[in-house]
Amino acid sequence: MSHPTDRQYHFDTQVVRITQLTPRMRRITVNCPELAVFHVENGPNIKLYFALPGGGRTSRTYTVRHFRRDALELDVDFLLHEPDGAASHWARHAQPGDTLAIMGPRAPLDLAGEQQLLLLADLCALPAASALLESLPADTCGHALLAVPAEDEIIALQHPAGIAVQWVVNPAVDALLPALAALPASQWQDAYLWAAAESGVVKAIRAHFIAAGRSSRARTRLVGYWKQGLAEHEYHDLRHVEMDET
């Protein structure tokens, strides 16, 4: 058996509960006895496996929104985006008792020692942003820009009082960019920079940071969570080249 932090670690889970959180976000809760060895809590990445219509399977990257050790239950929040893909299609039609193969988790991001944070996320990155915000030390300060396509996607968040949360209600894929441009660089120049959104948007975010003098990739985690017009398996290798994801 490989170590629980190893990417090769596999779980064959079963769906126990489905909760429609908002019009576009569906929480799927899974469990299996083997999750007893799962030693991280909320926020790390996992790979999920889905059957392909012609045979074989494909993987997608998601976030452990919550892990409840007492119940050996794990929540994954799926954006039901259109056009559909293997993962969102599965989440749209999932029923209790369905199986879900999981590999992971990756080690969660450790921001211990960071006092200031600028966080940017679109709707599919909201599970990761929510888990990150609630894990921060109470004295962390900074800004979170969270883009949602409509007001009915705004959710309650736990975050340090010193983090100003700004909801950007705008269905445009690049809704984060004008919100970032309106934020004076003096407010984030020294902050740890975290962004997760569509690939082209993340590239534009990086360009904005570079133009403001943050050219090093140190103390940044900028990751394209998806790419317009491409399925994840078509985009995966490119993402590793483009982004800070390790």
Closer CB to ligand FAD, 101 or 212, in the complex: 101
Note whether 38 binds ligand FAD by CB under 6 A.
Answer: no
Question: Using CB under 6 A, which of 27, 28, 38, 60 touches ligand FAD?
Answer: 60
Closer CB to ligand FAD, 62 or 188, in the complex: 62
Question: Using CB under 6 A, which of 88, 116, 135, 199 touches ligand FAD?
Answer: 88
CB of 83 to ligand FAD, least distance (A): 5
Question: Using CB under 6 A, which of 155, 169, 185, 231 touches ligand FAD?
Answer: 231
Note whether 40 binds ligand FAD by CB under 6 A.
Answer: no
Note whether 229 binds ligand FAD by CB under 6 A.
Answer: yes
For residue 124, give the DSSP letter.
Answer: G
Gyration radius of the chain over CA positions: 18
Note whether 42 binds ligand FAD by CB under 6 A.
Answer: no
Note whether 63 binds ligand FAD by CB under 6 A.
Answer: yes
Note whether 120 binds ligand FAD by CB under 6 A.
Answer: no
Q: Tokens 């299996």: give the residue.
A: 32
Note whether 62 binds ligand FAD by CB under 6 A.
Answer: yes
Note whether 83 binds ligand FAD by CB under 6 A.
Answer: yes
Note whether 20 binds ligand FAD by CB under 6 A.
Answer: no
> Which among 28-36, 76-84, 151-159, 175-183 is the span making contact with ligand FAD, rule CB under 6 A?
76-84
CB of 196 to ligand FAD, least distance (A): 7
Note whether 32 binds ligand FAD by CB under 6 A.
Answer: no
Q: Tokens 């990445």: give the residue.
A: 45
> Element (H or E) spanning 103, and its range?
strand 99-103
Residue 107 phi/psi, 5-degree rounding, is -65, 135
CB of 88 to ligand FAD, least distance (A): 3
Question: Exposure string (b/e) for 5-38, b if CB count within 10 Å is 16 or more?
Answer: eeeebebebebbeeeebbebbbbbbbbbebbeeb
Note whether 33 binds ligand FAD by CB under 6 A.
Answer: no
Q: Shortest CA distance to 185 belongs to which of 208, 206, 217, 219? A: 208
Q: Tokens 């989440």: give the residue.
A: 91
DSSP state letters, 143-200: EEEEEESSGGG-------TTEEEEEEE--STTTHHHHHHTS-GGGTTTSEEEEEEEHH
Retrieve residue 70's tokens: 């007492």
**What is the rounded CA–CA span in Å between residue 138 and residue 125?**
22
Residues that bind ligand FAD (CB under 6 A): 45, 60-63, 77-79, 81, 83, 85-88, 124, 127-128, 223, 225-232
